[in-house]
Amino acid sequence: MLSLIVFLPIVAALVILAVPSSQKQIIRLVTLLAAVGQGVLAVLIWQAYDPALPGIIASPGGSPEGSFQLIERLPWISLDLGNFGSLTIEYFLGVDGLSITMVLLTALISIIGVLSSWTIKKQVKGYFILFNVLSTAMMGCFVALDFFLFYVFWELMLLPMYFLIGIWGGPNREYAAIKFFLYTLFGSVFMLLVMIGLYFSVIDPLTGNHTFSLVAMASQENYIPDAILGPESVVWRYAAFIVLFIGFAIKVPMFPFHTWLPDAHVEAPTPISVILAGVLLKLGTYGMMRINFPFFPEVFQASLYVIGVFGAINIIYGAFCALAQSDLKKLVAYSSISHMGYVLLGLAAGNSEGMTGALYQMFNHGTITAMLFLLVGVIYDRAHTRQIDKFGGLASYMPVYAGVVTVAWFASLGLPGLSGFISEAFVFVGAFSSEVTRNIAIVSVLGIVLGAAYLLWSLQRMFLGKRNPDAVYELRKGADGQEHIHFHDWNGKNDLDARELLMLTPLAVIIIVLGVYPMPVLGLITTSINQLVEVLSPVVLTASAAVN
């Protein structure tokens, strides 16, 4: 089932290869079909999923069964390395509370992405092939339980992203694409090193061999005491934690490593921005929760404060940068930096409320930011500019658009009743409840006001008041005597058309529903989060040390 949901888009890509590139509509429909299929499968997985099973680490017996679900495990590569023993890489998929939410999110965002790709005119065939490859890679990353497999998907993601930005992007796309590519590659190189180190210091309790299994690596009993990353070599474990953290932090993106994001977003076409912000950023924090923290719990406990500080910097710094932007898309990009800061803060809290808030924030940020970028794309399609001061008074002439924008904007600034609020609230609850990050939480609360500030300000400048003198659109008296808006060389519907509504409405509904009653998602994750907190808590660590 997981293999199906992972590889469905690849199949679609192969089908598209067979389709002549003149058949644009067929290509689009095939991709849409694949995405919808993924969605259906995701729902089936959701139904099949049992929230009671914890995941994160193997069940007491040492086997992933009974802890992870929908497991698919078969040997993939096995090389004989002579005296190194034999290198065994498994094709090992499975879901737990961390994955399932991300799988649902990915499926959702893929569908939205395909729909919003309808406007892509240039080299449709190549675009959709790359798109399918990308969605396979994303889905694979979330369900892979073998580090090597994870790494393969992780790298597989870079390439289509690079081309999608570099070919279908804006004027400055090559720069952005290269930047994105180099940044992420930089991160993944370190990951490779640590991965190999982990391989040689972890033993699968069942087979007794070295293993890449994330499940085995997650529990400290499986570490060889005197291995390079074993419990005894403290320095190496710190180093490994740090480089791994940097690798994931680049994806998040965390403060010093964030500058690829605005460029990538500004240059990328709308659907790619949606995917990028909706799913790819989550991979960083997902990797931290799945790999970085459980493998080195004691280092994690030691570095809570630092992570929290970086989270706070992300929140405040991102918010301030967003306040200064004049390009709407760049504003949204910085706002998503700010919002990912909440995730980091929640992780730094290290307790259940914080971690739950963080994971839930990942999900909500996915939906909300996807909506924001879609809305930016809508206005960009019409006006061919994103400069905030080139608009004004839109609310009078595009009421539906203004309404949807209001929903999205308020969701993004964390209005209660919309999903963003709950996650942020619990991030703060968690961060404040732990003595380590309490002060950080107090500082970060500023982010709430700043978020409201830049969002409302942009809302006012673009939608309220009257038309700016130098706005990009004209007002024309309609037949009914009302003034109607007119964009240059735009002959579509001025207000949202059916396709855009089709994209935006589900997101809005999800945001509202999860804001009023979050249990559908939270119910999936709480068990795993508690397990994770258990794994990360110092008590367990000492116990494992005793075992070693």
The two tokens of residue 11 are: 């199949």
Sign of the Cα torsion 539, 542, 547, 548 reads: positive
Contact stretch for other proteins (CB under 8 A) within 5-13, 108-116, 238-246, 251-259: 251-259
Are 485 and 494 within 8 A, CB to CB? yes
SS3 letters across 233-271: CHHHHHHHHHHHHHHHHHHCCCHHHCCHHHHHHHHCCHH
The two tokens of residue 249 are: 């932090």
Indicate whether 533 belongs to the interface with other proteins (CB under 8 A).
yes
Binding to other proteins (CB under 8 A) within 431-490 occurs at 432-433, 438, 441-442, 445-446, 448-450, 452-453, 456-457, 460, 463-466
Q: Tell me the closest approach of the beta carbon of residue 326 to other proteins, in angstroms.
A: 10
Indicate whether 400 belongs to the interface with other proteins (CB under 8 A).
no
Alpha helices in 202-233 (DSSP H): 214-218
Are 204 and 216 within 8 A, CB to CB? yes
Contact stretch for other proteins (CB under 8 A) within 144-152, 209-217, 503-511, 516-524: 516-524
Binding to other proteins (CB under 8 A) within 155-194 occurs at 179, 182
Indicate whether 29 belongs to the interface with other proteins (CB under 8 A).
no
Q: Alpha-carbon distance 535 to 296, whole Å?
A: 10
> By CB under 8 A, how many residues form the interface with other proteins?
58
Which residue, 466, 476, 488, 474, is CA-closest to 392? Answer: 466
Indicate whether 405 belongs to the interface with other proteins (CB under 8 A).
no
Binding to other proteins (CB under 8 A) within 196-225 occurs at none
Alpha helices in 384-445 (DSSP H): 394-397, 399-412, 419-433, 438-444
**Residue matched to tokens 């087979």:** 207
**Residue matched to tokens 């998907």:** 153
Beta bridge partners of 203: 210
* Cis-peptide into 51, omega within 30 deg: no
**How many CA atoms within 13 Å lie on the side-chain side of 530?**
9
Among 38, 136, 222, 527, binds other proteins (CB under 8 A): 527
Q: Alpha-carbon distance 314 to 410, whole Å?
A: 20
Site string for other proteins, 32-71 (x = CB under 8 A): ----------------------------------------
Give the nearer residue to other proteins in terms of CB position, either 255 or 295: 255
Spell 162-191 as b/e; 16+ CB within 10 A means b. Answer: bbbbbbbbbeebeebbebbbebbeebbebb
Q: Tell me the closest approach of the beta carbon of residue 438 to other proteins, in angstroms.
A: 7
Among 38, 188, 351, 367, binds other proteins (CB under 8 A): 351
Among 19, 33, 415, 513, binds other proteins (CB under 8 A): 415
Among 129, 165, 348, 429, binds other proteins (CB under 8 A): 429
Among 374, 410, 423, 471, binds other proteins (CB under 8 A): 410
Indicate whether 519 belongs to the interface with other proteins (CB under 8 A).
yes
Torsion region of 499: left, alpha or beta (phi above 0 gives left; psi -120 to 50 gives alpha)? alpha
Residue ranges that bind other proteins, judged by CB under 8 A: 179, 182, 256, 258-260, 317, 320-321, 323-325, 351-353, 356, 393, 395-396, 410, 415-417, 421-422, 425, 428-429, 432-433, 438, 441-442, 445-446, 448-450, 452-453, 456-457, 460, 463-466, 517-519, 522-523, 526-527, 530, 533-534, 537
